[in-house]
Amino acid sequence: MKVIFFLFLLAFVLALYLWSHKLRDSSSVGRIKSIKSTIGDQEFILDVADTEQLRSYGLMNRIHLDSNAGMLFIFDMQGIYPFWMKNTLIPLDIIWLNSNKEVVYIKENAKPCGNLIEALCKTIIPNKIAKYVVELNSGKTSELGLKIGDRIEF
């Protein structure tokens, strides 16, 4: 009887956890549009985060990102835009672009940071101003040979 109760409790907790993450998925922050982008010689489909709410949510809680997918953050004006990996579950390469869509800063292999110890989530602060930021799966910038000064088309 104790085993059945334990299994029931475990199933309930798991269902509650999955339900709470479903409530916080990106659909809860608005409709996300996607655009095509060329990075190096590869085509990518980038989800567009062009509102404060979408930019704040980013790729949080996603457990998978297709190899040709990513996210494009569009800001209203150029500035220094720090990023962190709070509630991000997959490692990412983060690429900052100026208004000419030229790469000005790259952070490779930004590690996931769960929500339990928020204080330990390191903020990544670029040393250049940017208007756009692109997030791709970790290792993509190296695979593509992407470097400072390269252009990303979208």
Give tens-digit pLDDT for 111-145: 998 665 666 788 999 999 999 999 999 999 999 99
The hierarchical CATH code for the domain 31-144 is 2.60.120.1140
121 token code pair: 């989530």
Write down the pTM of the prediction: 0.79
Among 26, 104, 127, 23, smallest CA distance to 71 is for: 26
Q: What is the pLDDT of residue 33?
A: 96
Query: Are the C-beta atoms of 113 and 84 separated by less than 8 Å?
Result: yes
Query: Nearest Cα to 138, choosing from 63, 43, 84, 67?
Result: 67
Count CB-CB contacts under 10 A for residue 81.
19
Give DSSP secondary structure letters for the chain.
Answer: -HHHHHHHHHHHHHHHHHHHHHHTSGGGG-PPEEEEEEETTEEEEEEEE-SHHHHHHTTTT-S---TTEEEEEEEEEEE---B--BTB-S-EEEEEE-TT-BEEEEEEEEPPB-STTGGGPPPB--SS-EEEEEEEETTHHHHHT--TT-B-B-
pLDDT digits (tens, 9 = 90+) for 21-56: 443 444 445 578 999 999 999 999 999 999 999 999
